[in-house]
Amino acid sequence: MAASVRPQYRRILGQVAVGRCNGQVSSSRSGVVKNVSLRTHFSSSRSNFADWRCRSRSSGFLSWNRWRLEKGRYNEGHNQQSTVIDRRGTVGLCPSIRLFSSSHNGDSNSGDNGDYPQDIRVLPRRLVKRLKKQGISEAEFLTKINANSKSSDMFPPPSETDFRSAAPVVDSKEELESLLKLTSVVPKFVSEADSFPSDTAKYQDWKKQNSERTSKSVPKVSPSTTSIVLFPGQGSQFIGMSKQLLHFPGVHDLFEEASSLLGYDLLEICLAGPKSELDKTIYCQPAVMITSLAAIEKLREEHPKAVENCVATAGFSVGEFSALVFSGVISFPDAVKLVKVRAEAMQRASETVSSGMLTVFLAHDSDLKGAMRMAKEYCQTRRGINEPVCNVANFLFPECKVIAGHAEALEFISTNAKEFRILRTKRLPVSGAFHTQLMASARRPLEQALQGMKIGKPKLPIYSNVTGQPYHAKTNFAHMLGEQLVKPVRWEQTMHALYQRPQGSEFPHTYEVGPGKQMGTLLKQVNLQAHKQYHDVRV
């Protein structure tokens, strides 16, 4: 019984097979076999079949695993034998197994009547796909392969419409030996450039571009010659800030321009207070941002290389607007307008409900999640607050977080800190629960103010408070700065992203530009080695 073979197994690479089919012999060249029907003198016993399979594997001619015949069995109805010649010149006998069917759908013809179909020779699929990409037909390729073959007279190249070629009749051993001599000639292959010109061209272009890229590559710069600028946020303000900056050029102009846009004397509030006014969000946020940008002028005068060689920047909360101005994303007047809108919207949201922020210092076994959950239940059951808020607002370092929410929830955690193994708590001098859902009402005014402003591309990487990763060129800043109002500040994650280095590497110089030294304190807790290169710009 003949077996049908899948099309992908219709080849035996680098071998020559010749079979006798009713007085005709079909041959294959260039690694393609066609019209082969093999007969055997072996018996149909299972042991002989296993012996034949082992011989086939050892000779490397007809591998059972390669062909995976679906229903390959002995065809005991045929007593003819077919001679098989491998590339070593060995003449042997093989079982009668139909290698090809008349069609690809698995139909096979009986071998009793001698009607063995003329099958189309099939090239390897990988080669066919590659030829198709190059626009070369199979006929053209086979013609090139057989161009200088000595056997081209005996085996003419197939046409594009019909790959079937007639094969001579072999009746004697002498004719088989002559056929072996002719077909064993190694064909002369064309060069790679002639066969696949586009691949060669692509490689040459890649090589040229790579060499140009290497020649124009910027030499490595030592991290110790670079700098990172950090901007503080709300909560770092104090009476008298910016006093040490007034004698630097451009500082007075910054405060005058900001005061004209804000509608009040910002410098007077920074220098004289009172503190109760300075701590208000509406005054505190513009004061911290303008003071930080004024400190940049001092840094530019005292350490110009620190500004020129800056490789990254980040700002904490409202300090992110200072970073956006420093990197050229928004202009100084637009930043003042945005911070004014932001501060006023957040102040209104803070006055709507009594809220605040609380710093908590934790131990390894502190149950901060349990404390926040119990605080929400307390507000809901004892104080009658619907949908109470008490969440982490700032990730500072592993042992310290800032939580924000309703004032009653914060008071509950401060009073029962020992019950949850919280080491210490400290109330922040702010008037609202920033970076929580209590600021949702302030999001829309800020996004609307950003819609009409010109946003430029960052001149250096700016790290986002929301993601802890740098902004990319196509960032929707209106959306991200709106998200910053209601999402926690991931400052600990930002520090890890900024200062991640292989062990033993040098760190850049870090400059905290603005009031206070809070950013340096946080950096020391997160990365002590990076803190060794820390500097603060006194304001």
Model confidence pLDDT, tens digit, residues 85-99: 333 333 333 333 333
The string of DSSP codes covering 38-74 is ----S-S-HHHHHHHHHHHHHHTSS-HHHH--SS---
Residue 161 has pLDDT above 80, yes or no: no
Average pLDDT, integer, range 517-524 = 94
Greatest Cα pair distance, the chain, in angstroms, is 118
Q: Model confidence over 463-482: pLDDT tens digits?
A: 999 999 999 878 899 899 99
Phi and psi based region of residue 516 (left: phi greater than 0; alpha: psi -120 to 50; beta: remaining): left
- Alpha carbon separation from 156 to 67, 85, 116, 150, 159 (Å, rounded): 28, 21, 21, 11, 9
Percent of the chain's residues with pLDDT above 90: 48
Q: Is the peptide bond before 274 cis (omega within 30 degrees of 0)?
A: yes
Lowest pLDDT segment from 89-93, 163-167, 328-332, 358-362: 89-93
Higher pLDDT, 264 or 59: 264
Residue 206 has pLDDT above 60, yes or no: yes
pLDDT higher than 90, residue 489: yes
Tally the residues of the chain.
539
- Please give the pLDDT value at position 399: 93
Burial (CB < 10 A; 0-12, 13-18, 19+), residue 348, is middle
pLDDT for residue 421: 95
What is each CA distance from 505 to 25, 172, 224, 524, in whole angstroms? 74, 80, 10, 17
- Is residue 302 over pLDDT 90? yes
User: What mean pLDDT do residues 172-187 have?
Assistant: 54
> For residue 296, what pLDDT band results from cuts at 50, 70 and 90?
very high
Residues 6+ apart with CB under 8 A from 29: 16, 146, 149, 151, 155, 183, 187
How confident is the model over 328-350, as a mean pLDDT? 94
Q: How far apart are CA 217 and CA 32, in angstroms?
A: 50
C-alpha 339/C-alpha 350 separation (Å) is 16
Q: What are phi and psi of 513, to 5 degrees?
A: -110, 105
pLDDT of residue 223: 83
- pTM (2 d.p.): 0.61
Give the pLDDT of residue 211: 63
186 or 451, higher pLDDT? 451
Residue 113: predicted pLDDT: 42
Most confidently modeled of 93-102, 108-117, 345-354? 345-354
Residue 172's pLDDT is what?
57
Of 12-26, 297-311, 398-412, 430-444, least confident by mean pLDDT is 12-26
Compare 359 and 428 and report the one with higher pLDDT.
359
Mean of pLDDT values over 305-328: 94
| pLDDT at residue 310 tops 90 | yes
Q: Which residues of 392-402 are buried (b: 16+ CB within 10 A; e: fewer)?
A: bbbbbbeebbb
Q: Does residue 182 carry a pLDDT above 60?
A: no
The DSSP result for 156-218, as a single string, is PPPPSS----------SHHHHHHHHHHHTSPP-PPPHHHH-HHHHHHHHHHHHHHHHHHHTPP
Q: Which pLDDT score is estimated for 213?
A: 55
Q: What is the DSSP-derived secondary structure letter of residue 225?
A: G
Binning pLDDT at 50, 70 and 90, where does residue 171 land? Answer: low
Average pLDDT, the chain: 75
The terminus-to-terminus CA distance of the chain in angstroms comes to 97
Q: Which residues are catalytic?
A: 317, 435
C-alpha distances in angstroms, 232 versus 217, 345, 414, 454? 36, 21, 26, 25
